[in-house]
Amino acid sequence: MKQLGLALLLMAGVSSAQEPADFQPATTNVWGAQYPRVDGEGRVQVRIKAPEATEVRLNFWSGPKVDMEKEADGFWTVTTEPLAPGLHYYTVFVNGAEMSDPGSEAFFGGGKYASAVEVPEPGVDFYAIKDVPHGQVREVWYHSKVTGTWRHALVYLPAGYEKETDVRYPVLYLQHGGGEDETGWIRQGRANFIMDNLIADGSCKPMIVVMAYGYARRAGTTPPDLSGRPFSSPEWRKAMQDMMAAFEDDVTEALIPFVDATYRTIADRDHRAMAGLSMGGMQTFQITLNNLDLFSHIGGFSGGLGRMMFGDQKLDIKTVYDGVFADPAAFAEKVHLLWLGIGTNEPERMLEGIRGLHAALTEAGIEHVYWESPGTDHEWQTWRRDLKDFAPRLFR
């Protein structure tokens, strides 16, 4: 057993070599792993054991792609340039084969489980675990007649839910992005700790947060063959539209009734919100704007009225969704909060799209909140900051 434990530690990248004192194991490491390591400037050291490899390359998805250097003991190492604060997905290519880092926990992103390293943001603790009352995160399964399947969701219940049995709560439906799943807002986004801290300091109303699996297919249908088709193709666009329409019906016909029947919710539109990141933002706009009898608070985190919903045609803000934006006064009476956010370092297409939507809403006289996360890309640090600004504005 001792030999097995030693082998596991070696695979995790433990070495007797002395490293600069400022480098510390990342908080996202598996138990006992000394690598990857992060220093106070945000530089990351990665160390992989691959004695028979001839080439090892480190691939940060939103950051550096660099060759690693082989040491005499069979370990490959590299130290990156400083990375922006937050959670960074990465993989390692060993002789061309992509793999995860055994020293890192696995996170579901990009349609697969991958490694990630948390780079701390100095002086920032709004998503840290603090000595405050903590809510619970529960796993639930609900049956959907729309998909003909059992569906999975995570539900955050605020501290006090079990003791204060006469209290009912508003609900925020919070969606993940494309390539991720319903675990993302908890494991990567740390939404439960963000909500704990906001509620504890009195800046946010206690609420239930529901995070559902965002992919859906109608019962009896088969997935289309999209192999070799570019994302911009009509086939991909049609598949995305079909999925979003099925998910819309799943949320309105199965998920919301399940949540309202299972938990002590305030089951009316004035106390129901929805927000999502990237693809989840697109889903949020479609679901809420098509169902304003159910929702009154709307948030788009790096996601809004996407091209996949409207083809390549120029967006006329006053005609989309049956003209929901045509009358600013009527819209303001129904929607208590419309919120848009984007990171300043996000891909130009996304940045221009959200800024364009903000400009179009402003020109149309639609009251809304627009916020930019400074220095962050299409990544979890942007969306953590989004939630921190968005949640305190709900149900006021």
The predicted pLDDT at position 228 comes to 83
pLDDT digits (tens, 9 = 90+) for 118-132: 999 999 999 999 999
Beta bridge partner(s), residue 389:
none
Token readout for 284 is 């949020």
Per-residue pLDDT at 4 exceeds 90: no
Q: If you write DSSP's letter for every residue of 265-282 in order, what string do you get?
A: B--SGGGEEEEEETHHHH
Distance CA 60, CA 91 (A): 7
Confidence of residue 313 (pLDDT cuts 50, 70, 90): very low
Average pLDDT over residues 27-39: 97
Beta bridge partner(s), residue 208:
171
Confidence of residue 97 (pLDDT cuts 50, 70, 90): very high
∠ CA 247-139-158, nearest 5°, is 100
The predicted pLDDT at position 21 comes to 53
The predicted pLDDT at position 314 comes to 65
The predicted pLDDT at position 194 comes to 98
* Sign of the alpha-carbon torsion through 349, 118, 107, 65: positive
Helix then strand then coil, % of the chain, to nearest 5: 30, 25, 45
Per-residue pLDDT at 18 exceeds 50: no
Which domains does the chain show, CATH number per domain?
2-119 (2.60.40.10), 136-393 (3.40.50.1820)
Per-residue pLDDT at 6 exceeds 70: no
CB-based contacts of 152: which residues, under 8 Å, 6+ apart?
139, 140, 141, 182, 212, 213
Burial of 209 (0-12, 13-18, 19+ CB in 10 A): buried
Distance CA 75, CA 61 (A): 22
Distance CA 272, CA 14 (A): 48
Average pLDDT over residues 254-275: 98
CB-based contacts of 377: which residues, under 8 Å, 6+ apart?
62, 84, 343, 345, 346, 347
